[in-house]
């Protein structure tokens, strides 16, 4: 999918140093967007920027801190005087904690990183767009955790459900200004953090997915790109789950009845 209307647009991507954020950044770079990459690690950001090429700003940022976020927008607006696209991808998922043992520091850290950051970035980006009469696009990266529970991840799951609720409200608030706000919810996505487990672990993880494989950052990037394009100009306040069908199934294939031999024979080799 080529999106020529994104050429030259200023796109801020948080959590851009690796994984899904890196995948989104490299895809937007191929479309000619002017990138602003944010995460805590300068080294990771600079490596992604080198891979992207073109017009890239690298801004190490703690997305949960007001001062850091304000400094990022000050730099972006000084250089470009506009924001066209915001992709909120930064998030914190580990370590896990059972609700009986979760302390307040764990809860507060997850909420600050995954939910407070959404408010900070959306508030600043939306104000910049409104002030400049830009009909921009905001995409928040959630998880199927917003719809289904992870064991021992009450804080994380709460932030993803909260993100989707915020998105619907922000979409309504910003619709009169022509600013669209949507969510992409990844499923089992294979990123570099899973590489040490090896090929067999990747295959086993994919066996739970109806499409029979794990997803990759490019799968998420394509959906984000669509939501930022003119093809999605009438879509706002929506969540698109990019999960290979996981939320559609009642139970995983491992606990369901095996396929009949007559059906197995028709599967692609």
| Secondary structure (DSSP) of 105-154 | HHHHHHHIIIIIHHHHHHHHHHHHHHHTT---EEEEE--GGGTSPPTTBH
Token couple for 222: 């394509």
Q: Known catalytic residue: 119?
A: no
Helix axes of 154-174 and 117-131: crossing angle, nearest 10 degrees: 10
3-state secondary structure of 36: strand
Residue 115: φ, ψ to 5°? -125, -45
Residues 138-146, mean pLDDT to the nearest whole number = 94
pLDDT digits 0-9 by tens, 30-82: 999 999 999 999 999 999 999 999 999 999 999 999 999 999 999 999 999 99
Cis peptide before 127 (omega within 30 of 0): no
Identify the active-site residue in 156, 194, 216, 241. Answer: 156
The model's confidence at residue 182, banded by pLDDT at 50, 70 and 90, is very high
The model's confidence at residue 269, banded by pLDDT at 50, 70 and 90, is confident
* Residue 71 or residue 265, greater confidence: 71
Token couple for 198: 């090896």
- Pick the most confident of 18-27, 92-101, 259-268: 18-27
Residues 6+ apart with CB under 8 A from 8: 32, 33, 34
What is the rounded average pLDDT for all residues in the chain? 94
pLDDT above 70 (res 265): yes
pLDDT digits 0-9 by tens, 184-243: 999 999 988 888 888 899 999 999 999 999 999 999 999 999 999 999 999 999 999 999
Give the pLDDT confidence score for residue 1 in this predicted structure. Answer: 62
Task: For residues 118 and 147, give the distance between their C-alpha atoms in angstroms, rounded to a whole number.
Answer: 19
From the list 235, 181, 192, 228, the residue with the least C-alpha distance to 27 is 228
Give the pLDDT confidence score for residue 259 in this predicted structure. Answer: 77
């Amino acid at each position: 999918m080529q999106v020529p209307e994104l050429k030259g647009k200023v796109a801020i991507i948080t959590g851009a140093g690796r994984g899904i954020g890196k995948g989104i950044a490299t895809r937007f770079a191929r479309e000619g967007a002017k990138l602003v990459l944010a995460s805590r690690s300068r080294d990771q950001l600079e490596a992604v920027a080198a891979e992207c090429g073109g017009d890239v700003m690298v801004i190490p940022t703690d997305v949960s801190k007001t001062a850091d976020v304000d400094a990022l927008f000050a730099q972006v607006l000084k250089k470009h005087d506009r924001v066209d696209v915001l992709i909120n991808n930064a998030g914190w998922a580990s370590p896990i904690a059972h609700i009986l043992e979760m302390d307040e520091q764990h809860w507060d850290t997850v909420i600050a990183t995954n939910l407070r950051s959404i408010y900070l970035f959306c508030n600043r980006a939306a104000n910049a767009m409104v002030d400049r009469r830009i009909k921009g696009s905001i995409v928040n990266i959630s998880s199927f955790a917003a719809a289904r529970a992870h064991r021992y991840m009450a804080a994380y799951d709460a932030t993803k459900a909260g993100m989707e609720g915020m998105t619907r409200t922000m979409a309504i608030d910003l619709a009169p200004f022509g600013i669209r706000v949507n969510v992409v919810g990844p499923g089992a996505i294979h990123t570099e953090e899973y590489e040490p487990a090896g090929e067999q672990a990747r295959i086993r993880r994919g066996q739970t997915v109806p499409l029979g494989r794990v997803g990759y950052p490019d799968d998420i990037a394509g959906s984000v790109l669509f939501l930022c394009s003119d093809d999605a100009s009438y879509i706002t306040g929506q969540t698109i789950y990019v999960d290979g069908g996981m939320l559609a199934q009642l139970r995983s294939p491992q606990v369901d009845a095996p396929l009949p031999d007559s059906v197995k024979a028709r599967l692609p080799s």
